[in-house]
Structure 1
């Protein structure tokens, strides 16, 4: 019968690509580890590794198995941590993932509303949209708020609203005297965020220019919004941000509307598919509906 130790051993070997190093990492001898991996392959019924003189490589089946083995181990850890949290505080744990640019609008209002429920323990995780999808599948978060469409059969995404893009520019810059066009902006150094593997907001921004036959002049790529704004304040260039970000007042920065007001970015809520039945999620959905309606009718922008 497959046990969690089989998965832990497999992940360690897959990550190290070497039985000796994996055994050292796991603090066990190599021969027992070799037997456990062989036993796992027999249980799965397919080879998970290709044995080579300098180490091990995952087969296609092994690569697939690794993704799901990690998810299972993460799910177990999240379950343990959640159980401990509930036992200590006797509260229902509800975890929210978010990208920073959505936290300058109505999301804090929702969090404050939820925290008034004394039976809830609210935990926040700053995660990129792709990271939110994985966190939903492992149970690390219960809902995520991001800006990118991610196609995954286990997750459903709801469009809450769209908001215009603004240009964050250095104070006193010539771009601040009017609403600039994308063509004008393409002639100035641009700072994009975030970077790294997978889909990002920076990819969306690049697409905004590309779809209009333009090429942006990217001078810097940084990991987060705050760093991007710091570089803008240092007169290193400009960056494009969602409208909500203008609530973040920074010395040395002005926010200006674009000439093309039809350029918008989405705000999406991501949930596990079919996970709308429990009482907490129903409460979250009710609050979200109210906040979105407030924005639509102009009571909140």
Structure 2
């Protein structure tokens, strides 16, 4: 499959008319039809239904269209970033992060680096495992996650330990209390992310298992926002890092735990043995201030 196939398909999916799509693509109709047919053969699924009134997307076509748009938008963003990089002689600096750290001080780091005229920042939402892979491949320069991973090419630093909190629907029997893990284990648990693993989900499960507690996982969500939506729907409860409470999402109560030592680390990952660039030095300086603010209670 080539990039042009995605563009041909995307335009056709938007127009739902081969003639109009061919005109937009500045090509004849028969070659476009052949390209779409070849794409369907390669995927092994029909993407369009052909009818007298034109085309309609099949369920497989709708799913493929959603992902094709994301790929093409990401490509366009990357090309634009590279052009800015070359035009202004900027240094490309990539940051990987798990979603739960973006509710705290990470945006302040991003803001500080964006003020530097010679830096082009890229942000990537990645699990800690994916961050390690991206660091080794050179796709990012620094990562912020929650897992300690032993890899000879990557060095990790625990910035601080963050308290875990219970997220429960407003009006839940535990609402307004300071529950223990044993009390939480009595209620249906929503786990996230569902994949890839290992992740925060495994940290949460380990917190219960180390205390001999069995939990009833009723749903696994791929994203935290989905998990929080399920909580609002009274589908279950979950554990979240303290930073998440800054969202102030309606319908959810965030409860500190009776066990104050139940925490999740904020882990900073960098390539091992690499001389820091000027941007990395600036990032480290900003991090020192932010971490000190956190440790001294100046920033929750």
2:291 alignment counterpart:
292
Task: Quote the residue 1:179 is aligned against.
Answer: 178
* Distance (Å, rounded) in 2 between the aligned partners of 1:141 and 1:92: 12
What are the superposed Cα offsets for residues 161-198 of structure 1, whole Å, 9 maximum, x if unpaired? Answer: 00110001000111113111111111100101001243
Match of 2:86 in 1: 87
| 1:80 shift after superposition | 9.7
Q: Find out whether 1:223 has 2:225 as its counterpart.
A: no
The alpha-carbon deviation at position 84 of structure 1 amounts to: 4.9
Aligned to 1:147: 146
> So what's the TM-score if we normalise by structure 2?
0.72
* Whole-Å separation in 2 of the counterparts to 1:238 and 1:83: 43
Give the Cα separation in 1 of the matches to 2:151 and 2:259: 32
User: Does the residue aligned with 1:163 lie in a helix, a strand or coil?
Assistant: strand
Give the equivalent residue in structure 2 for 1:282: 281
Change beyond 3 A, Cα 1:261–1:290 = same
Q: Distance in 2 between matches of 1:274 and 1:282?
A: 14
Show the 5 A alignment for 1:45-84: 84=83
Aligned partners of 2:267, 2:253: CA distance in 1, in Å?
Answer: 26
- Aligned-pair CA distance for 1:113: 0.6
Matches within 5 A, 1:75-224: 84-224=83-223
1:228-247 pair list within 5 angstroms? 228-247=227-246
Q: Is the 8 A contact 1:85 1:93 kept in 2?
A: no
Q: Secondary structure at the match of 2:175?
A: helix
CA deviation string 1:264-298 (max 9, x = no partner): 00001000102342111111111100100011111
Preserved CA contact (<8 Å) 1:276 1:282: no
What is the alpha-carbon distance in structure 1 between the residues aligned to residue 176 and residue 250 of structure 2? Answer: 18
Report the count of equivalent residues: 225
Tell me the secondary structure at the aligned position of residue 175 of structure 1. Answer: coil
What is the TM-score normalised by the length of structure 1? 0.72
CA drift at 1:212: 0.6
Calculate the aligned-residue CA RMSD, in Å: 1.9
| Structure 2 segments unaligned to the other structure (5+ residues) | 1-37, 40-77
